[in-house]
Structure 1
Amino acid sequence: MKTPKTLFLAWQDPISRYWFSIGRLTFDGRVYQFVYTQGVKEAEAKCAFQPLSSFPYLDEVYTSTQLFPVFANRLMSRSRPDYSSFMEWLNIPKDEHDPMTILARSGGERETDTLAVFPCPEIDAQGQYHLYFFSHGLRHLPSCAIERINQFESGEKLWLAHEFQNPYDAQALILNTEDHYIVGYCPRYLLAEMFELIRHKLNLEVQVERVNKPPKPLQFRLLCKITVQASHDYHPFSNPHYQPLIAGFARSRPHSQLNC
């Protein structure tokens, strides 16, 4: 499994429930680096976003040889008895302990805050790239839909549909089966990229990657995979929202100097 080099940090406004891409974490094999992205400006303007306590200055580059606590705290401890089961839910080999890989697949979401992480994928030798996510909103689905999910086989095809009449989010993308069951939603923090793919008319397929059947938690029930056929004139997550807020990296603030 190829280790992702870049993760994006998304923030959800607790009032409007809208998601914004606000930061970017990179790792070069030695040093972790975090910067805020252009998306933080939209979060400020629309929802009065305030800088995270771990990264209090928008115009700084934060570096550390250790994973920043705001990300490390989203990893399950390897000492927990259910750690092996958790890795199985994520469909990651049990001997794979790279934190960037685990965060990329799990999303790093916790009930106690409003943050999530997702990877910037790399194009492979076949000219494709892949996005993995757990289907959202399952607790709002009828029991027949949950039962349909529990019957899924790996590789089963799914379809995305724009639910533009959704009163809570006019950009919502629902996941449908061939026999017309709604089996959840694409995470809101991926919607901007999904609509860019649609706008550029790129070929994409959505498949069931894994189903973690009961009594596994609903939030980890349905793992999906999107496969995109890349093109020469489009790069994943190239929208300005995902680009660094500051031009260049002249100023750097070591993370050890901050009160986290």
Structure 2
Amino acid sequence: MSVVVPRHELGSVERPLSRERAVDLVVSWQHPVTRATLPIGLLRQEVDGYSFRYLRRAREIQNFRGLLGFPDFKRLYRSTELFPLFAQRAMDEDRSDYPEYLLRLGLAEGATPWEQIVRSAGDSAADTVKVSPVPERIDGAWYCVSAVTGIKYLAAKPVAHQGGTFGPLGDDQLEVILGALKIGVRVRLAHEIGNTYSSAATLVTTDDGTPFGYLPDWLAHMVRDFISEDASAAIVDDIQCHDGKWVVRVLIRLDGRVGGSLETLLGPDWETYAE
């Protein structure tokens, strides 16, 4: 299990670390049958606009036919404006609840659509596309803000990690656990034992080891070799509940042993057609 440290020891990086500064966003697609969330491309904010490119492995994903507006897997897409597929995930400033929405995201008035989708992970009830910031290297360490996934899954079955077996957790128990979380509170990352779906399944737990969700599988594969080496740390970066839906994000720090380049960190599965 990883060593986790207080907020001020995470390299003096303050919330919202790199989310507005993110250069690349991982674009993921949720399979409609298996519900697995799979990385399929990278969205980038350029000096003069935006670009999107598919990962090579996207073509091998069963039932994935490409995103709307991006039919060619081998093409590098560029635009001076944020692509409509992603821009529609930002709220129109003319809406009456726009100020409340920005406040909820912790953004200032006049926040750009890019800042909104980076901050909100581009969540949309209309489809299965998600975005997440690519890890960023700062002062020799890697940092990443990630949503916690699979919260409701913990109500369906027990899960186990090195610290013991937990659950199934009832809805009331989950409400208590999540309601006790605060921004800046340390959390732990732990390999799940016996997960038949993913060899890298990583639970996010409270400081006493009680699980309340998972890291996205792509990120779990990225950090799995460093959790047991005490090379990672995590804190709650954001927590919200609206209409009974909990949204929790954690700030993860991986130390310099992970590697010096993004290519080393991501690995060969992240090669794109358009470099």
TM-score by length of 2: 0.75
Distance of 2:110 and 2:180 partners within structure 1: 28
Contact 2:148–2:216 under 8 Å retained in 1: yes
Contact 1:35–1:61 under 8 Å retained in 2: yes
SS, match of residue 35 in structure 1:
strand
Q: Does residue 102 of the first structure (1) align with residue 87 of the second (2)?
A: no
**1:168: how far off?**
5.0
Measured against aligned partners, the alpha-carbon deviations of 1:24-53 in whole angstroms (never above 9, x if no partner) come to 11222212111111231332xxx1321223
**Seq. identity, %:** 25
Contact 1:133–1:224 under 8 Å retained in 2: yes
Contiguous gaps of at least 5 residues in structure 1: 249-260
SS, match of residue 227 in structure 1:
strand
Distance of 2:182 and 2:47 partners within structure 1: 36
Alignment of 1:34-183 (within 5 A): 34-43=52-61, 47-90=62-105, 92-95=106-109, 97-124=111-138, 126-140=139-153, 141=155, 142=170, 143-167=172-196, 169-183=198-212
Distance of 1:132 and 1:31 partners within structure 2: 23
Q: Does residue 218 of the first structure (1) align with residue 231 of the second (2)?
A: no
Measured against aligned partners, the alpha-carbon deviations of 1:68-95 in whole angstroms (never above 9, x if no partner) come to 11111111222333333333333x3323
Residue 254 of structure 1 is matched in structure 2 by none
**1:235: how far off?**
2.8
Aligned-residue Cα RMSD (Å) equals: 2.6
- Aligned match for 2:222, one of 170, 180, 193: 193
**1:122: how far off?**
2.5
Letter in 2 for 1:224: V
Contact 1:38–1:240 under 8 Å retained in 2: no
Q: Does residue 3 of the first structure (1) align with residue 28 of the second (2)?
A: no
TM-score by length of 1: 0.79
Distance of 2:108 and 2:261 partners within structure 1: 31
**1:217: how far off?**
4.4
CA change 1:112–1:242 in 2 (3 A) is same
Distance of 2:173 and 2:146 partners within structure 1: 22
How many residues align structurally? 239
